[in-house]
């Protein structure tokens, strides 16, 4: 089992000091189980701190079984015996889709760890809807939760309810996060994956390398893969040519779901054929998901290119179909199961030590070499 990440801190956090003071006040006042404490605003005024700090202190005391926080009613001194019996041991996991090939393996990895520590898991699927994701998070905030793991829904904007979850002090780990958001996350090292895929093709002898991706949006994963590609090309003195970059492929599929209409399929294939025709000197292409790589293989045959001979194709994510194509697609494996396990380990740490800690960790991606890539023919 992987080791838990142990963030260091120079001194005790303010909310921890306040939690100790509230605990001392409970003892000095001889409050009995069931007695009501002051409101968050009253406690903030008494101790001269923000309401957010008071909320974090109360969450810590609740986790320790010293108080009960009842939505709409207030905060009460806990019956320690009853608290141990009634403590919430149900962690929430939110994903865009439930599948066995990608997010399903993240969930399975997280469950393995959480079950061993006595927790149950509730899994919610947003069907890739930001609005649905927000509704789930709203209910979690209202009802409380010991911790949440989120694989963020792909969208063109941040979901504000993720920020609200943080404000409430609920421990959170993301397995696909927003760039520039200060949140704990466990992800694949997508930059390294993009760099290694490009470097592999360069070392085979390719100099005219293209790239195909959907619009990357706000999420960091595709942006990091693209940057890895760009940096590898630059480090080897190669030019990234605009006509060899297709960064707005209108492909509405995801690694989580492959359904599409016949019209959509034909549109994607038409776009990829046009991409290949405009750059006949291109000898290799990196596709930032395996579905696009499979479609590019079909498009290549339609324009008279031979995959694994005069055109090398590299995919990403190592989903099941990549090994079953003709020829099988070389791809970059995403360690989904390990991501789930690490996310659960990190969440356990945050639940024990406080949601204010931030854990940032990436896991290495690995090349899976198959017949779709070969040295260029000169």
Residues of the chain with CATH 3.40.50.2300: 88-187+336-364, 190-334
pLDDT tens, residue by residue, 32-51: 888 899 999 999 999 999 99
In this structure, the chain runs to a length of 378
Contact 159, 165 (CB under 8 A): no
CATH architecture of 14-84: Orthogonal Bundle (1.10)
CA distance 183 to 174: 7
User: What angle separates helix 40-47 from helix 51-63, to the nearest 10 degrees?
Assistant: 110
Burial class (CB in 10 A: 0-12, 13-18, 19+), 47: middle
Residues of the chain with CATH 1.10.10.10: 14-84
Confidence check: pLDDT of 258 > 90? no
Confidence check: pLDDT of 4 > 80? no
CA distance 350 to 92: 14
Which residues have a Cβ under 8 Å from the Cβ of 189 and sit 6 or more positions away? 224, 362, 363, 364, 365
CA distance 20 to 95: 37
List the CATH code of the domain at 190-334.
3.40.50.2300
Chain centroid, CA 329 distance in Å? 25
Burial class (CB in 10 A: 0-12, 13-18, 19+), 250: exposed
- Other C-beta atoms closer than 10 Å to the C-beta of 210 total 24
Nearest in space to 222 (alpha carbons), one of 230, 231, 213: 213
Identify the pLDDT of residue 35.
87
Sheet containing 209-212: give its strands across.
245-246, 209-212, 284-287, 312-314
Confidence check: pLDDT of 134 > 90? yes
Listing DSSP states for 314-363 in one string gives E-SB--GGGGSSSSPPBEEE--HHHHHHHHHHHHHHHHHH-TT---EEEE
Identify the pLDDT of residue 2.
37
Identify the pLDDT of residue 253.
54
Identify the pLDDT of residue 6.
45
Listing DSSP states for 103-154 in one string gives HHHHHHHHHHHHHHTT-EEEEEE-TT-HHHHHHHHHHHHHH--S-EEEEPPP
**pTM confidence score:** 0.74
H/E stretch holding 265 reads helix 262-277
CA distance 214 to 254: 10
- Other C-beta atoms closer than 10 Å to the C-beta of 269 total 15
Which residues have a Cβ under 8 Å from the Cβ of 128 and sit 6 or more positions away? 96, 97, 153, 154, 254, 256, 257
Contact 218, 177 (CB under 8 A): no
CA distance 222 to 199: 18
3/320: higher pLDDT: 320
List the alpha helices (DSSP H) in 144-250: 160-167, 190-204, 220-235
Confidence check: pLDDT of 81 > 60? no
Nearest in space to 217 (alpha carbons), one of 294, 159, 268: 159
The superfamily in CATH containing domain 88-187+336-364 is Response regulator (3.40.50.2300)
Confidence check: pLDDT of 87 > 80? no
Identify the pLDDT of residue 117.
87
Nearest in space to 243 (alpha carbons), one of 279, 206, 288, 284: 279
Identify the pLDDT of residue 346.
97
Contact 292, 212 (CB under 8 A): yes
Confidence check: pLDDT of 5 > 50? no
Nearest in space to 199 (alpha carbons), one of 296, 286, 319, 292: 286
């Amino acid at each position: 089992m992987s080791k838990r990440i142990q963030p260091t801190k120079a001194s005790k956090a303010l909310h921890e000091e306040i939690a100790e003071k509230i605990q001392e006040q409970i003892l000095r006042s001889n409050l009995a189980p069931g007695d009501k404490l002051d409101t968050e605003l009253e406690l903030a005024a008494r101790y001269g701190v923000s309401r957010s700090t008071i909320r974090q202190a109360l969450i810590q005391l609740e986790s320790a079984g010293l108080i009960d926080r009842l939505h709409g009613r207030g905060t009460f001194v806990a019956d320690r015996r009853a608290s141990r019996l009634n403590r919430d041991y149900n962690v929430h996991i939110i994903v865009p889709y439930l599948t066995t090939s990608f997010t399903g393996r993240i969930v399975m990895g997280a469950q393995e760890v959480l079950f061993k520590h006595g927790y149950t898991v509730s899994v919610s699927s947003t069907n890739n809807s930001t609005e649905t994701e927000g509704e789930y998070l709203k209910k979690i905030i209202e009802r409380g939760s010991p911790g949440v793991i989120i694989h963020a829904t792909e969208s063109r904007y941040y979901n504000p309810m993720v920020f609200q979850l943080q404000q409430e002090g609920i421990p959170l780990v993301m397995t696909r996060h927003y760039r520039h958001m200060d949140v704990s996350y466990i992800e694949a090292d997508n930059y390294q994956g993009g760099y290694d895929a490009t470097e592999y093709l360069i070392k085979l002898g390719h100099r005219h390398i293209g790239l195909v991706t959907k619009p990357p949006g706000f999420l960091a994963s595709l942006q990091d893969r693209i940057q890895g590609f760009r940096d590898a090309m630059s480090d080897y003195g190669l030019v990234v040519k605009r006509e060899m970059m297709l960064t707005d492929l209108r492909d509405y599929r995801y690694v989580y779901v492959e359904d599409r209409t016949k019209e959509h399929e034909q549109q994607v294939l038409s776009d990829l054929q046009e991409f290949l025709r405009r750059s006949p000197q291109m000898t290799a292409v990196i596709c930032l998901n395996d579905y696009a790589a499979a479609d590019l293989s079909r498009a290549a045959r339609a324009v008279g290119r031979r995959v694994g001979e005069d055109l090398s194709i590299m995919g990403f994510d190592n989903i099941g179909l990549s090994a079953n194509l003709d020829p099988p697609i070389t791809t970059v494996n995403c360690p989904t199961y390990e991501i789930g396990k690490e996310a659960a380990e990190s969440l356990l740490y945050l639940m024990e030590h406080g949601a204010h800690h931030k854990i940032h960790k990436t896991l290495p991606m690995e090349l899976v070499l198959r017949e779709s890539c070969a040295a260029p023919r000169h």
